[in-house]
Amino acid sequence: MGLNLEINIAGIKLKNPILTASGCFGYGDEASDFFDVSRLGGIITKSISLLPRVGHPPPKVAETASGMLNAIGLSNIGLERFINDKMPFLRKCGTTVIVNIAGKQPDDYAKLAERISSLSGVHAIEVNISCPNVAEGGLEFGASEKGAAVVIEKVKKVSRVPIIAKLSPNVTDIVAIAKAVENAGADSISLINTLVGMAIDPKTKKFKISNKFGGLSGPAIKPVAVAMVYKVSRAVKIPVIGLGGISCGTDVVEFLLAGASAVQIGTACFAEPKVFTRSLDELTAYMVANGHNDIRELIGAVKDI
Amino acid sequence: MKCSGNFQIASIERLSSNIIRLEIDSPPIAEQARPGQFVQVRIPGKETNIWPRPFSIHYAGDGRITLYIKILGKMTACMAKLKNGDILNITGPLGNGFAEPPDQVPLYLVAGGIGLPPLYFLVCILLKKGFPPELIHLYSGAKSAADLFARDEIVALNIDYRLATDDGSCGVKGLIVEPFAKDFEKSKSGAVYACGPMAMLAAVAKIAEKNFCQLSLEQLMPCGWGVCNGCAVKLKSDNSIVEDERGFRLARVCKEGPVFNADDILWD
């Protein structure tokens, strides 16, 4: 008998619950230098915008205690080049492909969703309404119930594939936002994007990154993410994808127990390109050691003390 | 296939208060390594610093890579305490190496501090391929004698080798760019390679002017394999890749670099 690691999220079948987090895995092609990407549960691309974006000037990153700040500024090659240069690889990568989109206006998101969801080889769209680092778009929509719902409704109306709404932790009540995107038609929710942070160098008295503010990621934010996954997964009916500081198989288990149906790994892959496959092996070993045959037995199975 | 895994330290040596020399048994990396490429290194079990640290490859052969490491922060201080047989996690070889010189022209290689390794590796490979040693001029500068290293290895190559230190404790007193500038003025032609602090690279690029000139850049580097975009630097706009009205394009030091043609770099 084999273990079942397969999971259904919003009508798409994942061969296992481990996905790559947007913005941390390029367009998927770099990683094939290191491992067989078809072992991934799915690839989530970096955010694609209608036009190419340079993003913020350097320095864009700073290392912090058990984490890092980034303000990349959604730099990407834009929709047309993404379709021409990157989709051919993704079409034959051997796993589920989820394209992340970002716009300045709700209509930008709709245009992106309409075009991308019609491409062969795209299984779902993740909507970035939570980037903390851009002046227009991003968190502007994700910070309010109304703003988030407007974007998701527009995208949902035109998309031929399931929609995942990626939420920000930089809000007063993430449950309210989650309910709003669920009501607007989102098929799934992923959380959390980065937490707004800042770092200053006492030697130079300057900000460590050019954008002043950056998004905090890495193990430092994991407890915040687990708490939000727990809260949101109990408040909505659609499946929740958890992310934030995951760097090993037991971290994956923790998110599943909290209520996530799948997870994304981001920052940890910078130091260790093969963290996805190692975590998958560790997750499998955990299931064997604890007598679980099916990954679904773990979802939301946290017990009271 | 690039490699990411655990490898054993074959030898570790503290050369001065600032510098350590490491040889690491890593056949899959050593076989592929080219001059100008780098590896990302971290110490398993020391994950409070979540980024690995990038180091240029000083030499690769017989299944080993050699690295010189300057002790600058917590991570490098921990590395200095390692012993023969200890394990390091290494990813590489990463980035693009140097292009070979266009011809058998005089070569000028300018190293600032810990920028020496990729240039040393390049000289070794060119000599192996039959490049005449009398055409090679290597300039190695540092703050002080304690920051200079690999001197015996360079002397053994029988090339023109000049030293400079800021405090005059070894070689001429002053910046290493000065002796290079003087020599280059005389010939006004040749191929130039440099690795070191940005200010030094900018000065070298200005002196080299229209000649073949390749520079290896250093940047904070969360991933080293092209996915995070954190190490991007500004290049002159060329209408080919992502750009906007600000008149520059960004290139990842880890992926498009770390070696760039001096002409392409947009100096601040």
Q: Which residues of A are catalytic?
A: 131
Q: Does A199 touch chain B (CB under 8 A)?
A: no
Q: Supply the pLDDT for residue B101.
A: 92
What string of DSSP letters covers B134-197? Answer: GGEEEEEEESSGGG---HHHHHTTTSEEEEEETTSSSSEES-THHHHHHHHHHH--SEEEEES-
List chain B residues with CB under 8 Å of A54: 242-244, 246, 248-250
Q: Which residues of B touch A36 (CB under 8 A)?
A: none
Per-residue pLDDT at B257: 93
Looking at residue A147, what is its pLDDT? 92
CATH number among 1.10.287.70, 2.40.30.10, 3.40.50.10490, 2.70.98.10, domain B3-94: 2.40.30.10
- First vs last C-alpha separation in chain B: 36
Chain B: closest CA distance from residue A222 (Å): 14
Peptide bond into A17 cis (omega under 30): no
Give per-residue pLDDT as tens, A117-139. Answer: 999 999 999 999 987 767 666 67
Contact check, Cβ <8 Å, B50/A67: yes
- Does the CB of A203 have a partner CB in chain B at under 8 Å? no
What pLDDT is recorded for position B118? 98
pLDDT of residue B48: 66
The alpha carbon of residue A199 is apart from the nearest alpha carbon of chain B, in Å, by: 15
What are A17-69's pLDDT values in tens digits?
Answer: 999 999 999 999 999 999 999 999 999 999 999 998 888 888 999 999 999 99
Q: pLDDT tens across A250-291, in order?
A: 999 999 999 999 999 999 999 999 999 999 999 999 999 999
What pLDDT is attached to residue A272?
95
Tokens found for residue A296: 């679904």
Residue spans of chain B under pLDDT 70: 47-48, 238-246
Give the pLDDT score at A235.
98
CB atoms within 10 A of CB B121: 25
Other beta carbons less than 10 A from residue B252's beta carbon: 25
Q: Residue A25: list chain B partners with CB under 8 A.
A: 227
Q: Where in chain B is the domain with CATH 3.40.50.80?
A: 98-217
- CB within 8 Å: B223 and A55: no
CATH number for B98-217: choose from 3.40.640.10, 3.40.50.80, 3.40.50.720, 3.30.2270.10: 3.40.50.80
Residues A142-197: tens digit of each pLDDT: 889 999 999 999 999 999 999 999 999 999 999 999 999 999 999 999 999 999 99
- Range list for CATH 2.40.30.10 in chain B: 3-94
Residue pair B41/B52 in contact (Cβ under 8 Å)? The answer is: yes
Q: How confident is the model at residue A140 (pLDDT cuts 50, 70, 90)?
A: confident
Asked whether the beta carbons of residue A60 and residue B232 sit closer than 8 angstroms, the reply is yes
Assembly ipTM? 0.92
From CA B233, how far away is CA A267, in angstroms rounded?
21
In chain A, which residue's Cα lies nearest the Cα of B237?
A54
Identify the residue among A20, A251, A270, A276 best suited for mutation to test binding to B, counting B beta carbons within 10 A and taking the highest.
A270
pLDDT at res. A211: 94
B201 phi/psi in degrees, rounded to 5: -65, -40
Give the angle A286-A292-A298 at the CA atoms, nearest 5°: 80
The confidence score (pLDDT) of residue A285 equals: 97
Confidence grade of residue A1 (pLDDT, cut at 50, 70, 90)? low
Residues in chain B within 8 Å Cβ distance of A60:
229-230, 232
Q: How far is residue A79's CA from residue A88's CA, in Å, rounded to a whole number? A: 14
pLDDT at B244: 54
pTM score of the predicted model: 0.93
pLDDT at B127: 96
Reported as half-sphere exposure (CB side, CA atoms, 13 A), residue A215 has a value of 28
Q: Which domains does chain A show, CATH number per domain?
A: 7-55+70-196+216-297 (3.20.20.70)
B-facing residues of A in 237-296 (CB < 8 A) are 247, 267-274
